[in-house]
Structure 1
Amino acid sequence: MKYFCTEMYLSSVLEFVDLSTLDRRLMETNTIVHEFIGTVSGWCRERFIKVDSDEKGRLWHVLYCVEVIDEQKRREKKLLYLSETDSMTGINNRGSGERKITEFLEKKKGGLFCLLDCDKFKKINDTYGHAVGDTVLIKLAAVLQRACRENDIVMRLGGDEFAMYLPGMPDKAQAESFFKRLFTQIDKISIPEMQGEKINVSLGASLCSDKDRATFDTLYREEDAAMYESKKIVGNHAIIYSDLPQARQTPL
């Protein structure tokens, strides 16, 4: 096994094939399973199967086998990707994005939560056609992805509505710097069919600290209210919920 499995899995594999502990591990079950990456065939699954025991109930014979499951792992990975990804833009879909953001919030990992949509998107579809509208969404999603860090969550909620969660950024000055950088990149989007017409977005945001008892739904409602006010201003614009007159001044 020292030559058959990769270094990353060596310690767990050697622990699994340790015969001195096998009797205890198979005491209340007929089979135990472990998966690892092999040096030759990729993902493998090793298994011990109890065959029989002696008169005192101790293991007498066991079967050890290894099967290659690399193709199965690739299918599982592909299915997981398809289940979590928005098919048009390639970013998180609503289900996976909401789940990942909720995990951050449950771990008290505060940050910046943004909600945005494309201004006059229906007019773009009506004027230039749905194919151009789709291109707008794809390019906008790509800009959002580039503007964010590797561990940030970027998701399409549906239609022309997107959301982002940037953990570890609960500071207003940092948020405003991010908005500026994001809008600069959005302003560079160029779609030939739109003949120079710019894409503008309205953005609403909410900040939460590690101490806040925030949930996805409460932050979404705050962002939605902020985005509604942002739409009243022409051009790329962002409003943070705490800056609204009706914003609550008490912790979440």
Structure 2
Amino acid sequence: MINGAMQIERAALDRLMPMHLWISGKGHIESAGSTLRKAFGAKTLVGGRFFDLFEVRRPGGVFTVEDMRRHDGARLQIVPKDPCEVQGLRGVAVGLPKCGGVLVNLSFGIGVIEAVSAHRLTDADFAATDLAMELLYVVEAKTAVTEELRQLNLRLQGARDAAEEQALTDTLTGLRNRRALDATMSIWIDRKVPFGLMHIDLDYFKAVNDTLGHAAGDHVLCEVAKTLLSVTRAGDTVARVGGDEFVIVFRDLTDPTKLSGIADRVVAQLSEPSIFQGAVCRISASIGITISTDYGQPSADKMLSDADEALYACKNAGRGQAKLFRGVDADQRHR
């Protein structure tokens, strides 16, 4: 200490403040901290004129070293004039009475994360008292926890979706189940979406189960599912609603001729024998058809009940056929 003024070697100053700038009274940078030099790369800081390289954004009106001295101890916001990876700096300046200059101690502020990544800075590039690295550890830990929570939420959502899908699926055939059918019809009726409905009951299926066993019966049910899917479109719903009962709802298909044609094709295909472990499995199908537009106010229960009535009319007429339900409303509609 000389005449009350403290002196410090530049190397020691660099260790204490690796983000410092020592600016002479004429505005030249006499010394720059090692971390600043590393961040600015090939750009020469030492020897350059501070106000040629930087702009003081806050406080306003700082254009000379004397202006900085007047704001002794005030917080500064400083940005490089030339585009570079250092977006902005914050710091504080104190006047140096002996030389008329200022000593500025800077930090990356909220840009420290980007700066560390861009310039490959390490703990050694910061002052021992700087909490920048601790901040980075906290951010990294938070990022890791956030990502783990995101992955956990994705897994939980996937498990939830899978559980919901399983709850709506017939485990043997992979078709929709009764719960899914009820939900679909309820939505379509509420939204006034027209649709045709087929209730399909397998003829002679019990004989297959009794004579060839349940494995053969399961084989037949899966083959029936393939046949029904083959006559439907992406927006239609095929459901297994009982042991050997199926329902198809055809969205936006209400033409009785087209529906009857599809039903006849299903009857013909299901009448073809299938082979299971060398044994011949023979069934047929009876189908009842209803159309939502035949009802003033469609009801899922009413449509299923009427389709069931038409189906049993098929069975009473000899099985292996399809019939369109003809109620009072339907008879008037199709006259």
TM over 0.5: yes
Note the residue ranges of structure 2 that are not aligned, 5 or more in a row.
1-141
1:249 paired with 2:329, answer yes
1:178 paired with 2:262, answer yes
Write the distance in 2 (CA, Å) between the matches of 1:150 and 1:217.
24
Corresponding residue for 2:230?
146
Q: Give CA-to-partner distance per residue, 1:28-60, whole Å, 9 cap, x none.
A: xxxxxxxxxxxxxxxxxxxxxxxxxxxxxxxxx
Q: Quick check: 1:155–1:163 contact (8 Å CA) kept in 2?
A: yes
Q: 1:129 aligns with which of 209, 213, 226?
A: 213
Write the distance in 1 (CA, Å) between the matches of 2:278 and 2:210.
12
Matched residue type, 2:328: R
Matched residue type, 1:88: L
User: 1:56-71 maps to which residues of 2 (within 5 A)?
Assistant: 67-68=150-151, 69-71=153-155
Matched residue type, 1:163: V
- Per-residue deviation at 1:71? 1.8
- Per-residue deviation at 1:210? 8.5
- Per-residue deviation at 1:197? 4.5
Corresponding residue for 1:229?
313
Corresponding residue for 1:75?
159
- Per-residue deviation at 1:196? 3.9
Matched residue type, 1:86: D
- Per-residue deviation at 1:109? 1.3
Matched residue type, 2:321: H
TM-score where L is the length of structure 2: 0.51
Corresponding residue for 1:120?
204
Write the distance in 1 (CA, Å) between the matches of 2:312 and 2:272.
24
Q: Give CA-to-partner distance per residue, 1:191-243, whole Å, 9 cap, x none.
A: 2357445320011111122873111100011001100111124453100101x
3-state SS of paired residue (2:263):
helix
Corresponding residue for 1:220?
304
- Per-residue deviation at 1:88? 0.9
User: 1:197-212 maps to which residues of 2 (within 5 A)?
Assistant: 197-209=281-293, 212=296
- Per-residue deviation at 1:167? 1.6
Q: Quick check: 1:101–1:153 contact (8 Å CA) kept in 2?
A: no
Matched residue type, 1:100: T
Matched residue type, 1:157: V
1:192 paired with 2:272, answer no
Q: Quick check: 1:108–1:212 contact (8 Å CA) kept in 2?
A: no
Distance 1:190 1:128, change over 3 A: same
Q: Which has the larger radius of gyration?
A: 2
Length, aligned pairs only: 186
TM-score where L is the length of structure 1: 0.67
Q: Quick check: 2:205–2:244 contact (8 Å CA) kept in 1?
A: yes
The percentage of counterpart residues that share the same residue type is 25
Write the distance in 2 (CA, Å) between the matches of 1:118 and 1:72.
40
Q: Quick check: 1:183–1:236 contact (8 Å CA) kept in 2?
A: yes
1:87 paired with 2:171, answer yes
Write the distance in 1 (CA, Å) between the matches of 2:287 and 2:242.
15
Distance 1:226 1:156, change over 3 A: same
Note the residue ranges of structure 1 that are not aligned, 5 or more in a row.
1-62
Write the distance in 1 (CA, Å) between the matches of 2:154 and 2:272.
42
Distance 1:194 1:170, change over 3 A: farther
Q: Which has the higher contact order (CA 8 A, sep 6+)?
A: 1
Corresponding residue for 1:109?
193
3-state SS of paired residue (1:191):
strand
Write the distance in 2 (CA, Å) between the matches of 1:231 and 1:211.
25
Q: Quick check: 1:204–1:227 contact (8 Å CA) kept in 2?
A: yes
Q: Quick check: 1:112–1:170 contact (8 Å CA) kept in 2?
A: yes
Write the distance in 1 (CA, Å) between the matches of 2:179 and 2:278.
32
3-state SS of paired residue (1:105):
helix
